[in-house]
Amino acid sequence: MKNSINQDPMFQQLLSAIKSSQVTRRTALAGLGASAAAISLAACAPAGGAKTLTAATDLSDSEKLLIWHNWSLYMDEDDNGKYPTLEKFQAQTGIKVEYKIEIDDNDTYFAKVQKQLAQGQDIGADVACPTEWMAAKWIQAGYVQKYDAANIPNKKNLAPAYLGAAHDPNRDYSMPYQGILAGITYNKAEFKKATGKDAPGSLEDLWDPALKGRVGVLSEMRDTIGLILMAQGVDITSESSLTEDAFMNAIDFFAGKVADGQIARIKGNSYSEDLENGDTIAAIAWSGDTVQLNLSAETDKYGFFIPESGTTISADSFVVPMGATHKSNVEQLINYYYDPAVAAELAAWVNYVTPVVGAQEEAMKIDPALAENQLIFPSEEFMKNAFGFRALSGEESVKFAQAFQDVLLGA
């Protein structure tokens, strides 16, 4: 390709949008507990600054292990259920990694670990990958440890646009894992059978009566409502366009589709199960998961479509809770995944946007088609319709989350 990942100006725009807005990969508010978590989180950072917690003693020198909490469909996996890049890391370092799929959405995960986080206690993980807006809240509340940059020499490979974020300008407390795009995933054969169309042409195609009861959406407010807002002509990056009235109008539209049965399923990362079992024909979904669904089905069963009206963008980041006892081991893990060759190998499987400079060139060595995959290395043209949900004030965060939650509770 003519443009490398760090040379493409529109890709830099993508990264800048990620770092400057409170975009999320998954922010499900799928229950009363999650609603309470969202509201309490909005106020968790004290006005006078971060809470003063003491980092746990690092036992990495004597204990060669770490526990990693992450999302599903977010790690390379072979036919035997092993994770090849993690296997190589363990062989190279002697550090045993217990990889746990514990995060289905940000808020419900936070609800599970909030008490321990607030006390600086062990949450059962040495590292977790919440979405950027959630990571920012943890950092502002003093819940995470500061990295020792000397232990992460490959930090030099971090795409420059990820630096300068207000919550962590030098990436002292968080390191991006993957970037994400949202759009529509659909079962090709079933979609055509139901609608007569080969593929969706716009978000409006989800509201085709032929799909009633077979449509799913993400319980991620910023992705689901973000796509609806853009389809309604709202600029989600602009405070003057994305007003409270505009947001509530989108909520009303969403609530109507839920009430009349058009939208039957609102889920976090588990939405993929409904696509696999056939309960859902089309869904608002995340880009990389579509590729993995096809790998699982061993066929090109599912398609992924980005509406012309726009797609949302987001990122998830590595953070080390204050109660974690293996920070140096985690720093070795992060350094490993910031090796361009490893980043390319991971990207080849997960198919999300990599934050590692040099990964595109390494991907070219693996497979030229991989290096030209728009979902991993977006081109200027591809990124014209990718936008970050604007940053919300504390009051807006609570009000918008509650409005979205009200629809979920009534579903």
DSSP letters spanning 50-69: ----PPPPP-TTT--EEEEE
The answer to whether the beta carbons of residues 285 and 182 sit under 8 Å apart is: yes
> Tokens 């990964």 — which residue?
359
Residue (of 186, 165, 187, 188) closest to 176 by Cα position? 165
Element containing residue 371 per DSSP (H, E): helix 368-371
Q: Are 362 and 341 within 8 A, CB to CB?
A: yes
DSSP class of residue 390? P
| 250 three-state secondary structure | helix
Phi, psi of 20 (to 5 degrees): -100, -10
User: 23-178+316-375 sits in which CATH class?
Assistant: alpha beta
Report CA Rg, the chain. Answer: 20
CA dist 111 and 108 (Å) reads 5
> Which residues in the chain are classed under CATH 3.40.190.10?
23-178+316-375, 180-313+396-406
pTM, 2 dp: 0.75
Range 180-313+396-406 has CATH code 3.30.9.90 = no
Distance of CA 377 to the CA centre of its chain: 16
Asked whether 299 and 312 are in contact (CB, 8 A), the reply is: no
**Dihedral angle sign, alpha carbons of residues 223, 249, 29, 119:** positive
Taking the C-alpha atoms of residue 129 and residue 78, their distance in angstroms, rounded to an integer, is 22
Nearest-angstrom CA–CA distance, 44 and 318: 20
- C-beta neighbour count of 45 within 10 angstroms: 20
DSSP-assigned states of every residue in 68-105:
EEEETT-S---TTS--HHHHHHHHHH--EEEEEEEESS
DSSP 380: T
- Could you tell me which of 152, 179, 174, 178 has the C-alpha nearest to residue 164? 174
**CA-to-CA dists, residue 188 to 195, 197, 279, 294, angstroms:** 11, 9, 14, 11
pLDDT of residue 121: 97
Report the distance separating Cα 6 and Cα 158, nearest Å.
10
For every one of its 411 residues, what pLDDT tens digit does the chain have, with 9 covering 90 and above?
223 333 444 444 444 444 444 433 333 323 333 444 444 454 454 444 545 899 999 999 999 999 999 998 899 999 899 999 999 999 999 999 999 999 988 888 999 999 999 999 999 999 999 988 889 889 989 999 999 999 999 999 998 868 887 789 999 999 999 988 899 999 999 999 999 999 999 999 999 999 999 999 998 898 999 999 999 999 998 999 999 999 999 999 999 999 999 999 998 778 888 999 999 999 999 887 887 788 777 778 999 999 999 998 878 999 999 999 999 999 999 999 999 999 999 998 888 889 999 999 999 999 998 898 877 887 767 777 888 888 788 899 889 999 999 999 876
- Give the pLDDT score at 165: 79
Alpha-carbon dihedral sign for residues 277, 278, 282, 287? positive
- Report the candidate in 146, 141, 140, 142 with the shortest Cα–Cα distance to residue 174: 146
Q: How far is CA 268 from CA 30, 104, 223, 273, in A?
A: 8, 6, 11, 11
Distance CA 88, CA 70 (A): 18
Strands 386-387 and 311-318 come out as: parallel
- pLDDT at residue 79 in the model: 87
